[in-house]
A and B are shown apart, each in its own frame.
Chain A
């Protein structure tokens, strides 16, 4: 009886002890996890979260950097939405996202599939395709500025050899944004390619072998095996491409300064001008918050769409 009575109590003690040990281990692991995360978290809080919160606060203030901020409610938002230049910037940035998003995803995937082949020299070609990524935006801008020059540029030289009249790429308001899109695709498509390449290499070879044995051709294998298994990578690439598209600045600033006739004037340049040329931090912060909301809405919509597919 005693033993019966004591047995459960002993087991219970053991369970408690084990639970305590488990708890200690778990809390130790939690602590370790936080410790590992802390360098990133500290930087994230200091350089992302706090400035973002500060920007939201400043968007309700009148402040020229030197003076004392003054609360003015929604006036900055009213000001930017009444400014035709801000509406032009939103329209232009949307056009840029439209021009770059699909080519960046499709071309990124196509390049990844090409470079996923086990052929001689693939590693070399991968390096060549990835090289533009390490070039600074100012260099990219100046280089493509030369390439797009109407009189002496290489782009027009090749176009005229196939009978196309020279285009004033960066000086014609109709062609300036496509020129920026082409530059951006050349410069950054490789990051999408790398993500797709990693995802392609995660697809087990056996699936393709089995499908081949069952008589599936390359197109069927691509549609029924590759594409479904690439869905998470596709979602990531599409989201990143759209977010980066909305945040475009460097290329426009170096190559066209927002012109001609404001045809390449984008939201981040509006923010830059308001903050660092006009020293109006309130409207600049308000425009920043609007950009944050736009990217948020686009990202959520895109994630929902990917889930639906």
Chain B
């Protein structure tokens, strides 16, 4: 019966089998790859729809470039990525390349799930001299380079141009100091006839990590540091207290912000016009453009004695494997990705580390660049969170760690600032001292 079908069909059984095998092989191959290419697996945490599309598009271009390497990307949310990576490493099934943040690098270097890549950098020709000092330091651990620095994403200042104009302010002259910022925040806060606030001047949510990044920036602007010389928490310093008190005063004294507004997943207080200004990274530029918001960005105002702005960076590292067979292929892709980072940087909303890429027409010629410009201008002022092996447990994004819980308590008013920072220091020190 089956033979009859094949006999009557246009294909012979052999042809059909060959076609099936080819289809199966094509399905198993990475995006746009050739059968002879060496397969390199890449795990990353860019899971947003736009980010994944951008990354896959770039990888397709690379895979079709005939470089003899075929990259197969897989995205996980960051938490899943890290746990899956460590468990896979223990089982000898780690991916070849992993994209993560430089602040997490010391932890993975200490756990020995990544290997130094000085040899890969040298053999592939990846030009680290294009990267600012801070970026190069960020990927160096124990004197060895562990990853290719890809981008930098500092905190920036977003404001709604329509609201600024309605308030009689000049959107082309955004505030540069704490006093000017407070003046804007007061004028942009709107109350109804009964005195109830209908729109806050500024967004300062007590959920997610935004408040932490803002407080961190202000702490450094006031001359403080997160850790002291002994590697213990210095969060109870005068500079830190001044920074946090300023934010708490914005809520309680000036009434220009409310920690209960904005911040949660899916809750967009800026687009829903509940706030007029916010501080966030360049990754929101594409979202605001897609929403057709009339907005502008600026450098973070200087609230203290000097400019300082929180930032983080993505980097790409090589997982430690039993054999180094794929190092050449890993290096080929890393260098190509580093040199061709303008496209993913634009779509994801991050600033390329490489000066050549950052100043190339492929980046500066984009419609997003007028918003990215202020972030680029702030690059000399960036400060990374401490690059320590316990980064993930100390600086957890939004989990109830001593840092997060006490910061939330200060913002909500359930603890006075000095008490919250004292409790935070005790909790952080216990974490930092743990063996």
Contact = CB atoms under 8 A, between A and B. Distances in A.
B267 A279 contact: no
B82 A261 contact: no
B274 interface: yes
B87 interface: yes
Contacts of B112: 66
A189 to B, nearest CB: 24
Interface in A62-111: 64-66, 85, 88
A276 B81 CA distance: 10
A259 B86 contact: no
Contacts of A257: 207, 397-400
B260 A277 contact: no
Contact of A151 (B261, B400, B412, B414): B261
A146 B405 contact: no
A278 B393 contact: yes
A142 interface: yes
A178 interface: no
Contacts of A256: 207
Contacts of A258: 399-400
B240 interface: no
B408 interface: yes
Contact of A66 (B90, B205, B392): B90
Given A260-B207, A261-B412, A65 B87 contact: yes
B113 interface: yes
Interface string A251-267: 00010111111100100
A171 interface: yes
A247 interface: no
B404 interface: yes
Given A277-B79, A279-B111, A261 B400 contact: yes
B268 to A, nearest CB: 9
Nearest to B402: A85
Nearest to B262: A151
Nearest to A89: B400
Contact of B412 (A150, A173, A262): A173
B409 interface: yes
Contact of A259 (B90, B113, B207, B392): B207
Given A64-B111, A151-B272, A261-B409, A145 B265 contact: yes
B399 A171 contact: no
B340 interface: no
The size class of the interface chain A forms with chain B is 20 to 34
A151 B205 CA distance: 13
Contacts of B393: 277-278
B47 interface: no
B396 interface: yes
A23 B50 CA distance: 68
A12 interface: no
A225 to B, nearest CB: 48
Given A151-B274, A152-B272, A260-B408, A277 B264 contact: no
B312 to A, nearest CB: 17
Contacts of B265: 142, 145, 254
A170 B207 contact: yes
A66 B88 CA distance: 10
A211 interface: no
A168 interface: yes
Given A258-B400, A261-B408, A262-B400, A66 B86 contact: yes
B266 interface: yes
The size class of the interface chain B forms with chain A is 35 or more
Interface string B74-91: 000001001100110110
A277 B79 CA distance: 7
Interface string B369-405: 0000000000000000000000011001111100011
A146 B408 contact: no
A168 B83 CA distance: 32
B269 interface: yes
Contacts of A149: 264, 267
B113 A142 contact: no
Nearest to B400: A262
A178 B112 CA distance: 43
Contact of B89 (A66, A88, A260, A265): A66
Interface in A240-258: 254, 256-258
B354 interface: no
A253 to B, nearest CB: 9
Nearest to A257: B398
B206 interface: yes
A125 interface: no
Interface string B391-429: 011001111100011001100101000000000000000
B408 to A, nearest CB: 5
Contact of B264 (A145, A269, A273): A145
Interface in A134-172: 142, 145-146, 149-152, 168, 170-172
A262 B405 contact: yes
Given A145-B266, A260-B408, A261-B400, A65 B86 contact: yes
Nearest to A153: B267
Given A66-B111, A171-B259, A277-B396, A259 B404 contact: yes
A150 B404 CA distance: 21
Given A66-B113, A85-B400, A171 B260 contact: yes
Interface in B162-219: 205-207
A64 B110 CA distance: 12
Contacts of B398: 257, 259
Contacts of B267: 145-146, 149, 152
B111 A261 contact: no
A66 B393 CA distance: 17
Contact of A171 (B83, B206, B397, B404): B206
Interface string B317-347: 0000000000000000000000000000000
Contact of B86 (A151, A172, A279): A279
A171 B204 CA distance: 12
A260 B414 CA distance: 11
A145 B87 CA distance: 31
A199 B427 CA distance: 51
A2 to B, nearest CB: 70
A76 to B, nearest CB: 13
Ranked 3 nearest A-B pairs via Cβ? A262-B400, A276-B83, A168-B260
Given A151-B261, A257-B399, A259-B405, 6 more contacts: A151-B272, A171-B207, A173-B414, A259-B207, A259-B408, A273-B396
20 contacts: A65-B86, A65-B90, A66-B112, A66-B113, A142-B266, A145-B264, A145-B265, A146-B267, A149-B267, A150-B260, A168-B260, A171-B259, A172-B260, A173-B412, A173-B414, A260-B207, A277-B79, A277-B393, A277-B399, A279-B86
